[in-house]
Amino acid sequence: MVLVVAAVGVSGSGKTVTLEYLVSKLSAEGYKIGSIKHVHHKGFTMDKEGTNTWRYAKAGAKVIVAISPDEIAIIKKTEMPLDKLDQMTALLDREDLDIVFFEGFHSLIAKRQDVPKIITAIDEKGLEQTLEGTVQPILAIAGIVAQNSSSTTYRNIPIIKVPEDGQKLVELVKAHLIQTKSKKSSN
C-alpha cells in the first residue's frame, strides 16, 4: 500500500518547494517516490506542437510512448476525471512506490481522512481559507506563511520552515509511512 501525501494551497504559496524538498530528502534515503501535479490550465500538454509524438496524437493515437536511454514518456490523450484520487494514484501502481505526493487537488483532498496533508499559504488569511473545510490528518503548515512566522504551531499544527527545519517534515512523513505499512501488514 502506497502512502499518499498532499500539499495543498494557492498558487505561489510554496507547494512545489516543499514537495521538492521532501522528494529530494526521501529519495536520497532510498524511498521510491512518485508525484502527481494538478495543472489548472485547460489545454495544457507536455507535448510540443510539431514533434513526432505530437504528430502521432494529431493523427489519432490515444497513447504515445517516447523512449530514450534516460527517460520514458507516456502521453495518454484521454479525459482524466480530477475527482477520483484512487484512479490518479493507480496510474503509478506498477512502479512499486513507497510514497506518492500530490500537489494541489485541494477540493478533492480536503475532506479525505486517509490523506495526510501539508498546508501551504502566502499569509495568515490564505492559511485560514485553506484550512477551512480541510480535515485531519494535517502534518504541517509550510510555504511562505511558515517562512514569515515566528511561531512553531498554529491551531496545534506544526509550522515548519523548509529547508531550515525541513527534516522535521521528513520525519512526519516517514512516521505516516510506517503507519501505512503496519496497516497493510495487519490486513
- Could you tell me the CATH number of the domain that includes residue 124? 3.40.50.300
Residue 41 pLDDT greater than 60, yes or no: no
- Per-residue pLDDT band for 167 (boundaries 50, 70, 90) equals very high
Pick from 3-7, 12-16, 33-37, 152-156: least confident:
33-37
Looking at the DSSP bridge assignments, the partners of residue 34 are 100
Confidence of residue 123 (pLDDT cuts 50, 70, 90): very high
Range(s) of the domain holding residue 137: 3-38+82-186
Average pLDDT, the chain: 87
Maximum Cα–Cα distance across the chain: 56
pLDDT on residue 12: 94
11 and 103, same structural domain?
yes
Q: Model confidence over 70-122: pLDDT tens digits?
A: 877 777 777 766 666 777 677 676 678 999 999 988 888 999 999 999 999 99
Q: Are 176 and 170 in contact (CB under 8 A)?
A: no
In the chain, the percentage of residues whose pLDDT exceeds 70 is 88
Are 20 and 70 within one domain?
A: no
Domain match, 73 and 160 both: no
154-184: b or e for each residue (b if 16 or more CB lie within 10 Å)?
beebbbbbbeeebebbbebbbebbeebeeee
Tell me, what's the pLDDT at 79?
Answer: 73
- From 79, 95, 130, the end of a domain falls on 79
Cell numbers that stand for 82 in this block: 480530477
Q: How many domains does the chain have?
A: 2
Indicate if 102 and 138 belong to the same structural domain.
yes
pLDDT band per the 50, 70, 90 thresholds, residue 57: confident
Q: What is the pTM for the complete model shown? A: 0.82
Residues 97 and 163 in one domain: yes
Same domain, residue pair 96 and 162 = yes
